[in-house]
Amino acid sequence: MRRSWQIFWHVLFWVSVITFFVFVAHNGGKSTMQSLLIIFVVFGIVNIGLFYLNYLVLIPQFLDKKKYKIYALCVIAAIIAVGLSKFGLAVIFKPLTYVRMGKAIGFWQYSFSTSFTSIVFVFLSTVLKFTIDWFMNGRIQRDLENQRLSAELSFLKSQINPHFLFNSLNSIYSLAYQKSDTTPEAILKLSEIMRYMLYECNDNKVELTKELQYLQNYIDLQKIRFGNKAFINFDVTGEVTNQHIVPLLLISFIENAFKHGIANDALSPIKLKINLEEGNFYFFIQNKKHTHNRDASGGIGLANVRRRLDLLYPGKYNLDIRDEADTYTCQLSLVL
């Protein structure tokens, strides 16, 4: 379909150009239909041949390879050859094309006028070639950039699953070590979470309802880990309908709250709030800091989140992180 459209526009372009030149050659209506037909067919073919000689051969072979002198010589030779061909055709079809005002046109006068026409067609083919190359190069660059971004997003997403699995298995190991009766329930919760991560997060965006359920499952898993002594206030306000969000975007904030914060203090619970308002998504989480719980490896969660936000919500998000003496607060706003 794309090639057929190219052919269509090329044909339309040539019909327009040749019609214009025939109109100019009409000479105030004095030219006959026979002479116009000859000009249209014979000389049109010569000009089109010069156009595509420059477009398909000379520019790719010489100009694109920076062989400027050879290109210039070839163009001059082509213009001279075309000029001689036109003069020969004009003599053959005399007096239909060669006679003006009742007398023959001189060789140099005719050569000058045809050379000017040839230069116009060379110029048009050069402009067209560079215009198409400019658009093609731009599209190639965009495709390469999109591929790079897709590869980077895939890499960032691949980091999430092992990171999450590592932390969750540590939690379940702790339960198993204590011979807790909640270990099977924790494994079941982890299975539900992993099913979501493996089979429902393959698209760039997922339904917000599924993402919220995923967060709830994670919170339930942490409550099992803490022996139902984990205190977190999870509130969702606003209407959750058919909104979509980038998957696995919020889990790092909640992971950090449980990992670095105090979750077993009923007086200072983890505060998690999500608000939906006219296409805007607001996320808030705050936890009391546990000064003795530090991740020596530094973690990759928040750096991962920042990069994904830059790639997937450019100019459409605001992330505010406040690391204060006793509390750690994250606020994120998105335009869904």
**Residue 309 within any structural domain of the chain:** yes
Task: Give the pLDDT confidence score for residue 99 in this predicted structure.
Answer: 47
pLDDT digits (tens, 9 = 90+) for 239-264: 888 889 988 888 888 888 888 888 88
pTM above 0.85, yes or no: no
Q: What is the mean pLDDT of residues 273-278?
A: 91
Which amino acid is present at 31? S
- 297 has a pLDDT exceeding 50: no
Whole-number pLDDT of residue 102: 46
Indicate whether 175 belongs to any domain: no
**Of 94, 118, 141, which residue constitutes the final position of a domain?**
141
- Where in the chain does DSSP place strands (E)? 99-100, 103-104, 206-207, 232-237, 244-245, 270-277, 280-288, 317-323, 327-335
Q: Which amino acid is at 285?
A: I
pLDDT band at residue 330 using 50, 70 and 90 as cut-offs: very high
- pLDDT classification of 94: cutoffs 50, 70, 90: low
Q: Tell me: do 215 and 323 sit in the same domain.
A: yes
Residue 163 lies in a domain: no
Q: DSSP class of residue 282?
A: E
* Confidence at 178, pLDDT banded by 50, 70, 90: confident
Domain boundary among 88, 119, 141: 141
| 207 and 118 in a common domain | no
For range 12-33, the mean pLDDT: 65
Stronger pLDDT, 270 or 144, i.e. the higher one: 270
pLDDT at position 212: 92
10 inside domain: yes
In a domain, 168, yes or no: no
Higher pLDDT, 196 or 22: 196
Q: Report the C-alpha gap between 212 and 228 in whole angstroms.
A: 20
**Which SS3 state, helix, strand or coil, does residue 239 take?**
coil
Task: Work out how many domains the chain is built from and give that number.
Answer: 2
Burial track 267-304 (b if 16+ CB lie within 10 A, e otherwise): ebbbbbebebeeeebbbbbbbbbeeeeeeeeebebbeb
At 47 the pLDDT is: 83
Do residues 94 and 46 both lie within one domain? yes
Q: What is the structure's pLDDT at 156?
A: 60
Residue 247's domain comprises 180-335
Query: Strand 270-277 and strand 280-288: pairing?
Result: antiparallel
User: Which of 1-10, 113-122, 164-173, 176-185 is predicted least confidently?
Assistant: 1-10
